[in-house]
Amino acid sequence: MKARICIPIMLAVSAACFFPSPCGVFAAENAPHIPRPLFPAALPEGMTADAKLISALHFRLPPPIDTLTLPAPAPETVTIAGEATATEAQMLAYLLRQNPNPKLTGTAKELVHAYYIEAAREGVRPDVALAQAYKETGCFAYGGDVHWQQNNFCGLGATGGGAKGLSFPDMQTGVRAHIQHLLAYSRKTPPTAPLVDPRYDLIRTNRPDIYGRLTRWTALNGVWAVPGRNYGQEILMILARAQQPDGSDAALHAAKERLARSDDADAHLYRGMVYLRRAAYAEALADFAAAKKRDGKRPEAALGTALTHAAAGSMKEARRAYETYLRMAPDDAAGWYNYGLTLLSTGAPEKAVTAFQKSLAHAPQRAAAQNARAIAEMRTGDYAAAWRTLHEAAELDPADTNILINQILFETCLTEGRGHHK
């Protein structure tokens, strides 16, 4: 007799093929809705699993979690004045990713360059000013009261109720007006360039309470934008996304510029992250080693080394690197999850179960960790525990196709008998 939920093995295999990626993304278009099969919470009475069949099947494991980031300054500390940390190329690349066809009276490249020229002249951060323009215009998609032909990039004079706001003859002038308006809020010395912002003097004469007093981006909350409770924070989030160390040429160029300015741990970590995401593993490892040499207390270097070894398929080295990292960051749920994956791949399922348990102790709602723990339990022969754990994973995330496929595959391995499960 088969288990009480019987799904033929060919259906299970077909399902595994139908859901193509390890991430469990359902890619089929216009696929009919198929109700999720119901599996009992416990392994059916009198059933065991065929260990040989289990070892032959490919159970789905999500990939390692890449949480490698550099510490960011607290939003409340970021000033309107200062130098850019994101390059022109990064800000341009981000814009074109968000909106390949921005509505502008010139080119996107010309606009980004204008911000870097005008802001640098006045000592304002051009990257954050651009991020503000992206927020105000929806990356130059517009759609509000301001029309794209006005060259108004920050809503100057658009006070609501259909007010169109100010217009400027060209992009350069519009950018200058934006920078000058920021100056009205953040310092009392006049602009270096000729004044083109008609509202600058309104702030200076009518708002002595804010004129030159709001030196930080978060100080614009509820002032530049109303109610705008998180206005400054949202601008800084745009900047953070723009300068992510992804695998792009823009990020690599920014990384090299950063290293040219300062040969410190952060610069090597940033470039190491870029190389990792470009699959340039030898270069990434060299940068993470350099970061460790410059600051041995930073856990990011160990995490980067572990992620790089794992991506390159060097699982024994990844295992050792994760052990180093977790001594430095013992509360990192993602680190314990990734470590569990390396233990599974190096033939240590019992230790993997423990690692996944530690991951779940710090992040109990992680269905992926429950799924991985179930597979580790299968490999130890604890089939009853594996069945329960998969059921718990499905309850956490019923839409996770990795979990569903694993349940289907596991069910096809059930057979009558006293078994060897615990």
- Tell me which fold the domain 75-242 belongs to: Lysozyme (1.10.530)
**Average pLDDT in the chain:** 91
Provide the b/e sequence for 71-104 (b: ≥16 CB within 10 Å): eeeebeebebeeebbbbbbbbbbbbeebbeebeb
Cα separation, 25 vs 52, in Å, equals 28
- Helices (H), ranges, 20-150: 51-56, 88-98, 108-122, 126-137
* Digit-coded pLDDT (tens) for 165-185: 899 999 999 999 999 999 999
Q: Who contacts 219 (Cβ-Cβ below 8 Å, separation ≥6)?
A: 185, 213, 232
The answer, yes or no, to whether residue 28 has pLDDT greater than 80, is no
Q: Would you place residue 155 in the very low, low, confident or very high pLDDT band (cuts 50, 70, 90)?
A: very high
pLDDT of residue 31: 56
Burial of 400 (0-12, 13-18, 19+ CB in 10 A): buried
* Digit-coded pLDDT (tens) for 188-227: 999 999 999 999 999 999 999 999 999 999 999 999 988 8
Q: Tell me which residue has tokens 């494991």.
A: 61
DSSP label at 413? T
* Digit-coded pLDDT (tens) for 98-149: 999 999 999 999 999 999 999 999 999 999 999 999 999 999 999 888 999 9
Q: Would you place residue 20 in the very low, low, confident or very high pLDDT band (cuts 50, 70, 90)?
A: very low
pLDDT of residue 228: 85
Encoding tokens for residue 282? 């030898």
Q: Are 157 and 199 in contact (CB under 8 A)?
A: yes
More confident residue, 252 or 421: 252
Supply the angle between the helices 401-412 and 367-380 in degrees, to the nearest 10.
20
Q: Would you place residue 406 in the very low, low, confident or very high pLDDT band (cuts 50, 70, 90)?
A: very high
Q: Are 340 and 359 in contact (CB under 8 A)?
A: yes
For the ranges 224-228, 311-315, 337-341, 380-384, the lowest mean pLDDT is seen at 224-228
Cα separation, 139 vs 235, in Å, equals 12
Q: Are 24 and 62 in contact (CB under 8 A)?
A: yes
Cα separation, 284 vs 269, in Å, equals 9
pLDDT of residue 30: 61
